Structures are given as C-alpha cells and as structure tokens.
Amino acid sequence: MPGVLLLISLSVIAAVWWWLATPVTLARAPIDPAAKLYCVSYAPFRDDQTPLNPDLIVSPEQIQEDLIELAKISQCVRTYSVDNGLDRVPELASKVGLKVLLGVWIGDNRQKNALLSDTAIALAREYPDTVKAIIVGNEVMLRGEMTPSVLRETIRSVKTRVNIPVTYADVWEYWLLYREIAEDVDFVTIHVLPYWENMPVRAEDAAAHVIAIQKQVALAFPGKEILIGETGWPSNGRMREGALPSRTNQARIVSEMLDLAKRENIRVNLIEAYDSLWKREWEGTVGGNWGLFDGVYRKLKYPAGVAISNYPFWKLQMEGGMVLAVLVFAAAGLALRRSLSSPRPASWIAVAISATTAGILLGMAADKMFYESYGLGRLLGWGSLLAAAIASPMLCANALMSGRSLPTFLELIGPREGRTFSVPTMVLGFVLTVTTLLAAEAALGLLFDPRWRDFPFASLTMAVVPFGTLALFKRPKSGLRPIAETTFAALFAATAIFAMFNEGFDNWQSLWTCAAYFLLGMTLYRARSASIAGTTSTIPTAVSEAVLSSRDSGGVETDRSRSHAGKNVVAAPLG
C-alpha cells in the first residue's frame, strides 16, 4: 500500500505542476522591438537605492546602462523627478535616441518646488529635441499636499517659461473632482491602474476598463488630449478581490492594452520600466513588481517569441516537491520499522495527503519567499515558516507511525514535572511553536493592517495539513484544554472570519489562507494536556497522605492536622 500511495502522490505532484506551468499564447507579443512603446515610466534605483534618501545621486553610468536597453523597446521615457541624479536623464537619453516626458516632483515645500521647477525648465531649454513635455507634479492632489489654487499657480509658473507642452498627472478620479486644473495644462495626464481601483478590476477586464476610463475623461474635457500617464499590472503580490498579480496576467494585459490603444489612437505610458524593489517597503510585494524588466538582473521579463509562464522554473520546483514527498514517506517508513504494531490504512492515507500537499506547494512557497522576503526581518520570518513547512510533514509522518501525539506548549515550556524529554517530540513541538507564532504575526497584520499584506497560504498549508492529520488520528483522550492553544485558536478563527469578508469571496488567496487558519485553529483547539490533569489529580492524593501521616503522630497535633487537611481537601477541586 505505501508504494502505491507514493506513486499516486508523485503523479499528482507532476500533474499539478505541469498544469501550473502551462504557458499562455498571446495574439500580440507584450513587448515587440519591431513596434516600440510610445513611452514607459523610468526610475533608475537598484538594490537598496531609494529616492527617499535625499543624499543619493545615481551615477550617470547606471542610468546610461538602463536607457540603452529601454531604447530597444520604447520611443520615450517618463521620469518623476530631477533630483537624485535624474537631471542627467535628458542628456543621456539624447545619446540613445529616446524622448523624455520630464517630471517635476512637487509637494508641500514651496521653496524646493521652485528649485526643482527651475532645474526642469533649464533642462527643457538645453535639450529641446529630447524633452517633449514637462509634467509638473505627480498625484499631489491624491496625497493632499496642495490645494488646487497653489497647484495651478505652480503649473502656470513653469508654463510661461517654456515652449513645450506642460501637464499635471493624477489618478483619473481626481481630474474629475478638480476639473479647473485642466484650464492650465496643454493636455490631461491620467493614471488608470485597474488593480488599485476602489473596486479592483479582474485581469481579463483590465484593458477594456482602461480604455473606457480614458473615453469617460475625454468627455469631461472636450478639446483636450487625454494621455494615459500610468497604466499596467503587477507580476507578483497579493490579490485584491478578484485582481490577481501574475506574470501571465501582466503580459496579457500589456498586450491587450497596447492593441486597444493603437486601434483607438490613444497614447499610453506604461508603468513601469524596471521593478522598483524599494517600493516593497511601502506598498508590499505588489508595489515592487510592476516592471517590464526584472529589477535585479535588468532583463526583459517577456522577450518576443518566448513562452510566458507563471513558473518558468517549474521543472526544478516540481522535482524538489517530489523529493520532499519521498522523504515524507521515508520518515514514516523509518518509524514503522521500530513500531511493534502495523498501522491502519488510514494512517498511510494521512501520510500520503501530507506528502502530496507538501510536494505541490513547496515550489510555490519557495517562489513566494523569494519575492516576498524584503528586509532581514521579513527574510527570517518567511524563511523560518518555509523551513517549518518542510519539516512538518516529515516529523508528523514519523510521529503518526510511532504513535506519538502532537505535543502541547506546556509539554515544551511548562512546569518541569509536566515537560516532555523525548527528543522527537520536542523537535515536533518546536516546529509547531514556530508555525503558530509566525502564523499569529501574519494574522495580526491581516487584522489591523491588511492593505499591503501578502497571504502566506502556501507555506502555512504545508505546515498545517500534517499537524491537522496527526491531531485527528493521535488526539489525547484525556486532559484539560490548554489556555495558550485556545487563545491562538480564537485568534486564527477571528482572522479567518474577518479576512474572508474584508477581502471578498473573489479573492482565492484570502479564502485559501482563511481555510489554513481554520485548520490550524481547530488543530490547536483539539489539544489536551495530560500534564495539567495529572498535576490536578495529585493534589487530593498528596493531601490524603498528609492526613495519614498526621494520624500516626497522635494527640492534639493529630486533630489540628486533620482540621487543616480537611480544609485543603475541600479547596483542592476549586483550584
């Protein structure tokens, strides 16, 4: 039976990964060097570089390296500022034949606004054949850093000193709220990001949504050209309702959007050229994965003629999962060699479920850890959860065949007389503790700060399914329910209920995570601590021994001892 189940497990793992890696076929290549993009947003920051560092000056060599690659796929780049070394972009772009939509990053500091505006004006005059327009401000109204009157004054101060078009860029709704701003710009620049809409748009509807919004805004501003200044889709990160970031979705949306824009004669600037890894600290994983180029290796994600898959390394991920499944069965087999009784068929089925689940999800969990682990703390947390998820199915399979139940936290860190000193049980308990604590940290994030939080569905499920099967088959028949497990179970149940409704029923990442939390909560709630029951039951016995001892001493002391012992006997059950 074990051999048959192992073959079934390996077959399921292979089939699922073959299905997951199925490439998409697009009618139009998302990035076609023969049909260059109109424009693409560009920020040069790499590794730990960030525009939030006012002292950072990106080297011209680094910018030049990027622009050479961008000139192969685009006619133009849009920038957002002229500080941090970005004032060199017009000069360097002119050398590779790129045009520039030059951005001026303005805010609530009027003195700095004037200084940056002067720099942009000087660059426009120095490179008139390269700088095609100046974008004065980016989402200033959205951030609430300016009033409409101050913004209009700033735009006019730039417009009167240059001979090229001047515009302002913001989310499309804010143009409709503050229509008077259109009087001072040469064309209207709107941002339409289907993923970030208040009502997130599914990937299959995203391109049509962008074009529909452009037409809606055009009706509000007759006679003004409407430039789509930002649009795109993330290739990785958490779902928002039915909006799923993925490589295939990003490629499909870019392809469809460019095709529609060409047919409708609409100018589109894609966001963005390179993945902006620094944005992950502020917008989560999804914030750093909008690029057409990889942010680390600076390579095009979707070269023309190459199949597009969500898991380009799926064979390696599948093989790793199959190896883990074999190890899970091996752990069960090693325990069985030391067992004096034969396991029930249901036990082997439980092992097969854990092995198959872990084998399917290992590659997915590793992929998520790679993209979602930014910063040392995040890397340690997500790495520890993945390590626990790898260890859990092997340890639980071994425990199931050895007849050991899932330990309680009291058996690990409680009173010495109730602790376990079995090394395999201690290791299993340690993995359970790590999983519970990391799951609790993620749960609190989903409860109190959910907007940027990723869903740990893959690693959490890998760890929780084996715990659940072990608790089902090897539950202690007696003992009291521990307070710690009950508290964590309540937290996980509350998180699952809240996230289910807060994220919506179209968000399968959320629903999957909620199911894992429910399973972990039920597993912990089923725990019973025999050590608590044993400690409680020894109290009356100890008191009885004290009474018998006092009787042997005789006289008045015996009466006093009996009196005190009687009080203790009555009090013991209340304690």
Q: Which of 29-38, 175-184, 339-348, 533-542 has the lowest mean pLDDT?
A: 533-542
The continuous run of DSSP H or E covering 188 comes out as strand 188-191
483 Cβ neighbours under 8 A, 6+ residues apart: none
Cis peptide before 283 (omega within 30 of 0): no
pTM equals: 0.87
Q: Which of 201, 184, 182 is nearest to 192 (CA)?
A: 201
Confidence of residue 574 (pLDDT cuts 50, 70, 90): very low
What pLDDT sits at residue 476? Answer: 66
Could you read off the pLDDT of 264-297 as tens digits, one per residue?
A: 999 999 999 999 999 998 899 999 999 999 999 9
Confidence of residue 236 (pLDDT cuts 50, 70, 90): very high
As a whole number, mean pLDDT of residues 459-481 equals 88
Residue 341 has pLDDT above 70, yes or no: no
The continuous run of DSSP H or E covering 99 comes out as strand 99-104
What pLDDT sits at residue 420? Answer: 80
Q: Which of 165, 190, 185 is nearest to 175 (CA)?
A: 190
Distance CA 260, CA 208 (A): 8
Distance CA 492, CA 517 (A): 5
Compute CA distances 59 → 69, 83, 95, 276, whole Å. Answer: 16, 12, 16, 17
Could you read off the pLDDT of 499-508 as tens digits, one per residue?
A: 999 999 999 9
Residue 530 has pLDDT above 90, yes or no: no
What pLDDT sits at residue 83? Answer: 95
Over the chain, what is the mean pLDDT? 90
Distance CA 273, CA 282 (A): 19
What pLDDT sits at residue 293? Answer: 96
Name the residue with higher pLDDT: 519 or 537.
Answer: 519
What percentage of the chain carries pLDDT values higher than 90? 78
Confidence of residue 442 (pLDDT cuts 50, 70, 90): very high
Residue 458 has pLDDT above 80, yes or no: yes
Per DSSP, 126 falls in state H
Name the residue with higher pLDDT: 340 or 326.
Answer: 326
Q: Which of 60-64, 105-109, 315-319, 563-567 has the lowest mean pLDDT?
A: 563-567
Region of residue 237 (left: phi > 0; alpha: psi -120 to 50; beta: else)? left
Q: Which of 103, 43, 99 is nearest to 76 (CA)?
A: 99
For the chain, report the end-to-end CA distance as a whole number of angstroms: 50
Contact 251, 308 (CB under 8 A): yes
As a whole number, mean pLDDT of residues 295-305 equals 91
Q: Which of 390-404, 412-426, 550-564 has the lowest mean pLDDT?
A: 550-564
Residue 106 has pLDDT above 80, yes or no: yes
Could you read off the pLDDT of 158-174 as tens digits, one per residue?
A: 999 999 999 999 999 99
What pLDDT sits at residue 570? Answer: 34
Residues in the chain: 575
Distance CA 61, CA 564 (A): 88
559 Cβ neighbours under 8 A, 6+ residues apart: none
Residue 555 has pLDDT above 70, yes or no: no
25 Cβ neighbours under 8 A, 6+ residues apart: none
Q: Which of 176, 162, 169, 193 is nearest to 78 (CA)?
A: 169
Give the 3-state secondary structure of residue 405.
coil
What pLDDT sits at residue 531? Answer: 55
- Joined tokens for residue 37: 């993009």
As a whole number, mean pLDDT of residues 562-567 equals 36
Compute CA distances 569 → 10, 262, 553, 572, whole Å. Answer: 60, 88, 20, 5
Q: Which of 192, 248, 250, 205 is nearest to 506 (CA)?
A: 205
User: Residue 397 phi/psi, 5° resolution?
Assistant: -60, -40
Confidence of residue 473 (pLDDT cuts 50, 70, 90): confident
Distance CA 30, CA 147 (A): 39
